[in-house]
Structure 1
Amino acid sequence: MWRSAWSSASDPSKLMARRHKIRIKSPHEIGRMRIAGQTASEILMELVKAVEPGRTTLEIDKLAGELMRQRDCKSAALGYRGYSGQICISVNEEVVHGIGGPRKIQPGDCVTIDVAIVKGGWFSDNAITVAVGEVTEETRRLLVATEESLFVAISHARAGKRLADLCGSVEDYVKPLGFTVVREFVGHGVGRDLHEEPQVPNYRPQGKSPILEPGMTLAIEPMVNAGTHSVRILDDGWTVVTADGKPSAHFEHTVLITEGEPELLTWRERGVPGL
């Protein structure tokens, strides 16, 4: 199992120390990834519209399955190491990998939806956190900062830059604002597989860092907590929650490194839904 946003990094200080074999996509493959990315984004934004008080997280998950069927794609989450949901849906203190169930969405919640799909043999991954009604000022600040940290990181997703600079930019942005980044779970390369090299933490790792090249595709995904960076996993074996019970936010795009500006393969309008 990958040390990615799906699993913990056993030795975070050495994430970059290993030899990297990062796949470079051809123009044809990039075209296929654009289709998968657009599809993943469309599904995510349809689910955002369905997030409202009184709905259960399981209802959102079932809707995700129907939207995938309509678009001739499959969930990359369902069945992954026994995962039982179509998507990951996490509420408030849940950081990532929440499984849809009977929990009802309440006013004041923040709800993270993480959609990963495979279409035509190519994977794409994106996530967003939604504010439901009036949220606390702390939650509002957290959501705004986390989304902005994603775009700060994307601004470093350029050929010739070091991956470590991209990674470190997330923590550099949120730490002065009083927030922390989750260290046990990280982003990843994506393409023919859901989890490819390289790992993409949200802090500056030690060790040798690869230079970004055109044709690399990365799932960049800041996971930021209002309190401690420490997390724990619930008894379901999947749901990751903050150790202190404070809220967490998660924003993600699949990003293509080009000769110039980075390309968002999961493009959507900027802005935190609900704010």
Structure 2
Amino acid sequence: MGFGRGIYKTPAQLRAMIEPGLITAAALDAARELIAPGVTTLELDAAAADVIRSRGARSNFQLVRGYRHTVCVSVNEQVVHGIPGNRELEPGDIVSIDAGAEHRGWNGDSAITVVLPDPARPGVVAEREELSRVTARSLWAGIAALATARHVGDVGAAIQDSIEQSGQGYGILREYVGHGIGRKMHEAPSVFNYRTADPGPEVRPGLVLAIEPMVVAGSDATFVEDDGWTVSTIDGTAGSHWEHSVAVHDGGVWVLTAPDGGAAGLAPFGVAPVPIG
């Protein structure tokens, strides 16, 4: 399969993607700080919106036709694309927040998962925290693989291996995958979270990927709720979503949506991110 030059950015373009990545990270931090029982998902959306606007950017989610919110907030059996609203968070909830910012024509995209404490249900909390931990680790396994990968498909293989090594029998969503990112939030190539026969495009300087494993505690079968957006598990089991936008450049890899470039997350894999020059 052939891939055009359009998926590879110049060094100047990579530098232009640093700020939208940092804005995206700051928006997620603001939402994360508010997460507590009784807080509505719409309040999380407003906190992220305030940060994005204050940094001179705009939500790239709002550039998607028909979507008017700044972030997606998915709770419990909702895995991705949850619409913020009046739902109040409860103890023990597992909450995934997906955010993106466009700044001067360039995009960032990232997601986190948080589990609320619940003294009355420690077992449920422990199970959900493990689901989030395994998902986050698989994300970093994929990013670490990107540092030495020959093809994009190596990333998906690393993510799948990491999840399966947990021994938990988790499901990996098949219909929803990562993507390239740049002038648009969603660009080629697709970044699968599992091993595929097609190796995908070559990994070389200028490639920027939004890597985003979406993992569920049970079956990977999902459906779209009546709102036309929210993706939930059919069996009602919990989901977790973690994501970072990552650039490959002449010196190595740099996580655009992590203030430290991914240093902390990559350290367990023996990979050190290199700032974009």
TM beyond 0.5? yes
- Tell me the CA shift for residue 165 of structure 1: 1.3
Q: Does 1:182 align with 2:149?
A: no
* CA deviation profile, 1:5-36 (whole Å, cap 9, x unmatched): xxxxxxxxxxxxx5333521112111110111
1:24-69 deviation per Cα after TM superposition (whole angstroms, max 9, x unaligned): 1112111110111111111111110011110111111122222211
1:242 & 1:39 partners in 2: Cα distance?
31
**In the alignment, is the contact (CA less than 8 A) between 1:37 and 1:125 conserved in 2?**
yes
Q: 2:130: which partner in 1? A: 141
Residues 159 and 258 in structure 1, CA contact (< 8 A), matched pair in contact too: no
1:20 aligns with 2:9: no
Tell me the residue number matched to 1:122: 106
Give me the whole-angstrom Cα distance separating, in 2, the residues matched to 1:238 and 1:39: 24
Q: Does 1:32 align with 2:23?
A: no
Give yes or no for contact 1:40–1:115 (8 Å, CA) kept in 2. yes
Pair 208,142 (structure 1): closer, same or farther in 2 beyond 3 Å: closer
Task: Say whether the 8 Å CA contact 1:157–1:212 is kept in structure 2.
Answer: yes
Partner of 1:6: none
For 2:199 and 2:138, the matched residues in 1 are separated by 23
Cα 1:79–1:266 change in 2 (3 A) is: closer
Measured after TM superposition, the shift of residue 79 of structure 1 is 4.5
Change (3 A) 1:219 1:83: same
Structure 2 residue ranges without an equivalent (≥5) = 119-123, 266-277
Alpha-carbon contact 2:3-2:201 (below 8 Å) kept: yes
Aligned length: 254
CA–CA separation in structure 2 for the residues paired with 1:53 and 1:268: 28
Is 1:226 aligned with 2:217? yes
* Deviation of 1:159 (Å): 5.6
Q: 2:96 aligns with which of 109, 112, 116?
A: 112
Partners of 1:189 and 1:104 lie apart in 2 by: 33
Match of 2:255 in 1: 264
Equivalents in 2 of 1:138, 1:238: separation in Å? 26
- 3-state DSSP of counterpart to 1:65: helix
What is the deviation of 1:260? 4.2
Does the CA contact (< 8 Å) of 1:158 and 1:259 recur in 2?
A: no
**TM-score relative to the length of structure 2:** 0.87
Deviates more, 1:98-107 or 1:63-72: 63-72
Whether contact under 8 Å (1:57, 1:104) holds in the other structure is yes
Query: Is 1:249 the equivalent of 2:244?
Result: no
Instruction: Give the counterpart letter for 1:113 in structure 2.
Output: I
d(CA) in 1 for partners of 2:173, 2:48? 26
Per-residue deviation, 1:259: 3.3
SS at match of 2:30: helix
Structure 1 residue 84, shift from structure 2 partner: 2.4
Aligned to 2:272: none
Alignment pair present for 1:164 and 2:148: no
**2:71 alignment partner, one of 72, 87, 108:** 87
Consecutive unaligned residues in structure 1, runs of 5 or more = 1-17
Indicate the RMSD between aligned Cα atoms, in angstroms. 1.6
Paired residues of 2:116 and 2:125 also in contact (CA < 8 A):
no
Distance 2:181 2:10 in 1: 14
Matched, 1:51 2:35: yes
Percentage identity across paired residues of the two chains: 39
Residues 159 and 257, structure 1, Cα contact 8 Å, conserved in 2: no
Distance 1:162 1:221 in 2: 17
Q: Can you list the C-alpha shifts for 1:171-213, whole angstroms capped at 9, x where unaligned?
A: 2211233211100000000011111110001011222422201
Q: Which stretches of structure 1, 4 residues or more, deviate above 3 A after TM superposition?
A: 268-271
